[in-house]
Homo-oligomer: A and B are copies of this chain.
Amino acid sequence: MATMTFFADLMSTLFERGPFRPSRKAFDMESIGPEIDELLSGVGEVSGVRLARDILSQYQAMDEAAKRAFFEHLASRLDLDADEVIKAADAYRSDRSAKTLHRLTRAAEPRRQELLRRLNQAPGATDWLVRMREELLRLLPESPELDVVDADFQHLFASWFNRGFLVLRRIDWHTPANILEKIIEYEAVHAINDWQDLRRRVLPSDRRCFAFFHPAMPEEPLIFVEVALCRGIPNSIQDLLDDGHQTLPEHEADTAVFYSISNCQEGLKGISFGNLLIKQVVEELAAEVPSLKTFVTLSPVPGFNRWLRAQAEERPEIETLIEQLQSREPEAVSEHGAVLRGLCAQYLIEAKGNYGRPIDPVARFHLGNGALLHDIHALADKSANGWDQSSTVMVNYLYDLKQVSRNSERFMSNGEVLTSKQVRQLLPRV
């Protein structure tokens, strides 16, 4: 414990480094190019930290055009040499040794990877490299040739943000305000309106929030999940989030509901944390609140309405339904609840895209994690967004830690959507 706090202290070093100040000196690739070469050619790290800091400062002060030029420099000038790779692979084929392997490994790695590693020597650099990729991703649509640079970012980040380096942390009302402020900002599923709303989500004893952090970015959550402890499975997100909510004594809760999961860092796109987060939180909660028996999500169905409209072209009864729902009256839904739920079941189970996977992204995520399609509710999200994307329908995916591994394998191998009995019964009988 004391060692821990000893180590906690360690972290202050990282923290105190503070953010970079953008450089004020004039610059362009003519000035930054030689610095990059120097940083890369440097034997050891003699002046590396200074150079890295300098390059990052200059980068930050660049306008969009200059940044594009910077990335183009990385794409064209710091690429690998395919001929050299082929030679090195040839050599390794005929003589497998550390030396030939080392040569091959170096040859097959674009030099920009080494540049990124050396830039990371500067204090606080990890955070800035994540932001750098965020900007690169924004430039990609117009400069698709930069995708090779992004490939290197992604390769490196996958190694740096390895699960073994992440730290799970509970977020609650004792959390520093600067972190909480980011939770408000990054919430991507059910917007947090203000600090009172946030307070309702993290303070009551039947609410939980957990986030992953990386030690080199201690002020930036990577992903977080919000959980409600309930008696039974709730069938409406508004019931969970509304102001008047009555706090449930912790030991009376039998169900943990994951009602929101948000990735925080655009610059970490493609590095997957959600799966691990959910499972670790299930384990934490199971240990902390022994009365919990069921772990489910209450999830949106973002593609349902779009699919419904597409179906309508061939199925006139759906067209009628869509018209009736246009009033956005709860009655319209309650009247056709069973039909709507059945259609949603059909959508989730039968509407397949690439590799035979469901076209619904949320379904793909949870089923890929090994969850089971447990239940479908109408009138579950009466917000404007809920009407827009899924006509108020929401879904429970069930996480049974004993089954997730097997479930995931079945889903991954053949795209099979595992469902509960009650969901199967929703499907229209043929």
Residues of A in contact with B (beta carbons under 8 Å apart): 1-16, 43-50, 79-80, 82-83, 85-86, 89-90, 92-93, 96-98, 101-102, 104-105, 107-110, 117, 120-123, 125-126, 145, 147-148, 150-152, 155-156, 158-160, 162-165, 167-170, 172-181, 194-195, 199, 213, 215-216, 218-219, 272, 275-276, 279, 368-370, 404-405, 408-409, 412
Q: In the complex, are the beta carbons of A83 and B79 less than 8 A apart?
A: no
Q: In the complex, are the beta carbons of A163 and B9 less than 8 A apart?
A: no
A46-B13 contact, Cβ under 8 Å, with A83-B93, A148-B98, A174-B2: no
A164-B125 contact, Cβ under 8 Å, with A90-B86, A105-B155, A175-B177: yes
Pick the contact of A176 from B3, B117, B195 — CB < 8 Å? B3
Question: Which B residues are CB-close (under 8 A) to A44?
Answer: 272, 275, 368-369, 408
Give complex CA distance A13, B353 in Å.
Answer: 39
A369-B89 contact, Cβ under 8 Å, with A164-B126, A173-B178, A195-B195: no
Question: Which B residues are CB-close (under 8 A) to A13?
Answer: 167-169
The distance from the CB of A1 to the nearest CB of chain B, in whole angstroms, is 6
Q: In the complex, are the beta carbons of B105 and A108 less than 8 A apart?
A: yes
Task: Tell me what chain A mostly uses at the interface: helix, strand, loop, or mixed.
Answer: helix
Q: In the complex, are the beta carbons of A218 and B98 less than 8 A apart?
A: no
Question: Which B residues are CB-close (under 8 A) to A178?
Answer: 3, 173-174
Q: In the complex, are the beta carbons of B7 and A7 less than 8 A apart?
A: no
Q: In the complex, are the beta carbons of A46 and B275 less than 8 A apart?
A: yes
Question: Which B residues are CB-close (under 8 A) to A195?
Answer: 177, 194-195
Give complex CA distance A44, B155 in Å.
Answer: 15
A45-B275 contact, Cβ under 8 Å, with A5-B5, A89-B108, A121-B162: yes
The distance from the CB of A407 to the nearest CB of chain B, in whole angstroms, is 9
Residue pairs across A and B with Cβ atoms less than 8 A apart, 24 shown, are A3-B178, A4-B8, A5-B8, A6-B6, A6-B169, A8-B8, A44-B368, A44-B369, A44-B408, A82-B92, A86-B90, A97-B148, A98-B148, A107-B108, A121-B163, A122-B164, A126-B164, A126-B165, A159-B159, A165-B165, A173-B176, A173-B178, A176-B177, A215-B216
